[in-house]
Homo-oligomer: A and B are copies of this chain.
């Protein structure tokens, strides 16, 4: 059994890591840290784990004396980079779920996160934790940075088109996200009476995930992010112009070529049916990212759509998938849950 530890295990991403790793047949979680909850049971903040584990949180300072091979980091953006040197000494393999090592260019990081990157020398060591596009590198990488939830959906939806040269010009992304994306401490803005039924355009421009999609697709990306009524779930609608002469068939072929062997990407673009395009509603709890498209023959445009559960494929599930790749295990291990319908 592989021994792993989780930093920041009391948050929502931490809880999903605990859920998935406890169900993983090749992994033992030896430590889950939380300064706030140290000494208390993990099934307090994560009540779905009742009956599955008697584990308690430990303080971050106990990690030094613990023995593990993989460290998952679910710590806040901006804080993680300053501590990364220390984390790297604790474990051979580090899988980071913060935003601090996602962007290759520290200047762009500074521009999107509003602070100077304090560990730019470490950035090149990190591989993007997206097996669909970086599987080979991930198989031998010991520093993995999991992309943001909306970025994962956007990259998986846009990159096949961008790589195949089927689209041109900028990409307009309309991203929608549920409330769990704001984390456990969402404050007054996250109070149910305010957040329920919201269509809150919280980032009309320059959401941080925009930079990740641009980086992964070599496109100018403009993204608008809206909080919608849901706890889990992300959906992106990406509008682009088709290159001259590109047909719907070409688009479909490019998607199929990119993802036909992927365990966690389904191409959904049907003519009929309620769920003919990707929708997060049926993905809750699953590690799928559904991608799809609709081509407007009239004016040569396409809308590329991606959907996922932000805490699974857009976070903890993506991290576990990378773990599976890194250790050469079947990629679906511990990630078999298919999602629910109706839900």
A interface residues (Cβ-Cβ under 8 A, vs B): 12, 15, 19, 22-23, 44, 46-52, 172, 174, 176, 178-180, 182, 184-186, 188-201, 204-206, 220, 222, 224, 226, 228-233, 235, 237, 239, 266, 268, 273-275, 277, 279-282, 284-286, 288, 294, 296, 298-299, 301, 303, 305, 307, 336-343
Provide the residues of chain B in CB contact with A228, threshold 8 Å: 176, 199, 228-229
Contact call B201/A237, Cβ cutoff below 8 A: yes
Distance, CA A332 to CA B339, complexed state (A) = 19
Provide the residues of chain B in CB contact with A307, threshold 8 Å: 199
Contact call A341/B46, Cβ cutoff below 8 A: yes
- 15 A-B residue pairs with Cβ-Cβ distance under 8 Å, sorted by A, are A12-B342, A22-B338, A47-B282, A174-B237, A176-B226, A179-B191, A179-B196, A184-B188, A188-B274, A190-B193, A192-B196, A194-B274, A196-B342, A198-B279, A200-B277
5 A-B pairs besides A184-B193, A201-B305 with CB distance below 8 A are A50-B266, A176-B199, A186-B191, A190-B193, A205-B296
Provide the residues of chain B in CB contact with A266, threshold 8 Å: 50-51
Distance, CA A31 to CA B29, complexed state (A) = 40
By CB atoms of chain B within 10 A, which of A268, A305, A343 has the most?
A343
Contact call A197/B294, Cβ cutoff below 8 A: no
Provide the residues of chain B in CB contact with A189, threshold 8 Å: 274
By CB atoms of chain B within 10 A, which of A23, A174, A192 has the most?
A192
Provide the residues of chain B in CB contact with A222, threshold 8 Å: 239, 296, 299, 301
Provide the residues of chain B in CB contact with A231, threshold 8 Å: 192-193, 196-197, 342-343
Contact call A237/B226, Cβ cutoff below 8 A: yes
Contact call B298/A343, Cβ cutoff below 8 A: no
Distance, CA A59 to CA B266, complexed state (A) = 28
CB distance from A342 to the nearest CB of B (A): 4
Provide the residues of chain B in CB contact with A205, threshold 8 Å: 294, 296, 298, 301, 303
Nearest residue (CB) in B for A239 is: B172
Q: Which of B12, B204, B230, B341 contacts A47 (CB 8 A)?
A: B341
Distance, CA A339 to CA B42, complexed state (A) = 15
CB distance from A317 to the nearest CB of B (A): 12
Distance, CA A191 to CA B185, complexed state (A) = 8
Contact call B235/A199, Cβ cutoff below 8 A: yes
For the complex of A and B, the 10 pairs showing the least CB-CB separation, nearest first, are A204-B294, A192-B195, A193-B342, A229-B229, A47-B275, A179-B192, A48-B341, A205-B296, A48-B339, A174-B174
Nearest residue (CB) in B for A186 is: B191
Provide the residues of chain B in CB contact with A277, threshold 8 Å: 200-201, 204
